[in-house]
Amino acid sequence: MRNKWIIGIIAVVVLAGGLFLLSRSPSPSSTPESPTSTPEVAVEAATNEQNIITLTQRGFSPMVTTIKAGATVTWENKSGKVATINSDPHPAHTNYPPLNLDNFSDGGSLNLTFGKPGTYGYHNHLNPSMTGVIIVE
């Protein structure tokens, strides 16, 4: 079971990395457009640079976030429901206990600073199909 989770996380990381590379423009960028007129992939890339992960009704955006050790990640709940951030695997939450952040209401936010390099999977315990990955370099 654990191998399936690891393979799944690796697949998500590879897919997200490919999407990110494909979405990058080779020409110099000008002033960023407003999020309402920017394609979804570009919005996710911009959000990723700010270490903000948004929980919507569809799940976490972006699903994969890469940060440097010592950086803080902020989760914003815009799902319309109470949610819970917990470390994988579900329901044990044992891979990285500091990532067991508890409940946060719609409109609320949670923060966590990641001190050590590694790959940290997480999910919304109240809807475990909503998953994400933090890669700390």
Give the tens place of pLDDT for each residue, 45-71: 334 457 999 999 999 999 999 999 999
In a domain, residue 69? The reply is yes
CATH number for 15: 2.60.40.420
Query: Which has more pLDDT, 77 or 102?
Result: 77
Q: Which domain range does residue 89 map to?
A: 2-25+38-136
What is the arithmetic mean of pLDDT over 116-125? 96
pLDDT at 2: 65
pTM for the structure as a whole: 0.64
Task: Note the residue count of the chain.
Answer: 137
33-37, 52-56, 72-76: least confident range: 33-37
Q: Which amino acid is at 98?
A: P
| Within-domain flag for 108 | yes
* 113 lies in some domain: yes
Judge whether 32 lies within some domain: no
Q: Is residue 33 part of a domain?
A: no
> What is the number of domains present in the chain?
1
Residues whose CB is less than 8 angstroms from the CB of residue 20 and which lie 6 or more positions away in sequence, other chains included: 41, 45, 48
Q: Rounded to an integer, what distance in angstroms lies between the CA atom of residue 101 and that of residue 84?
A: 7
| Inside any domain, residue 79 | yes
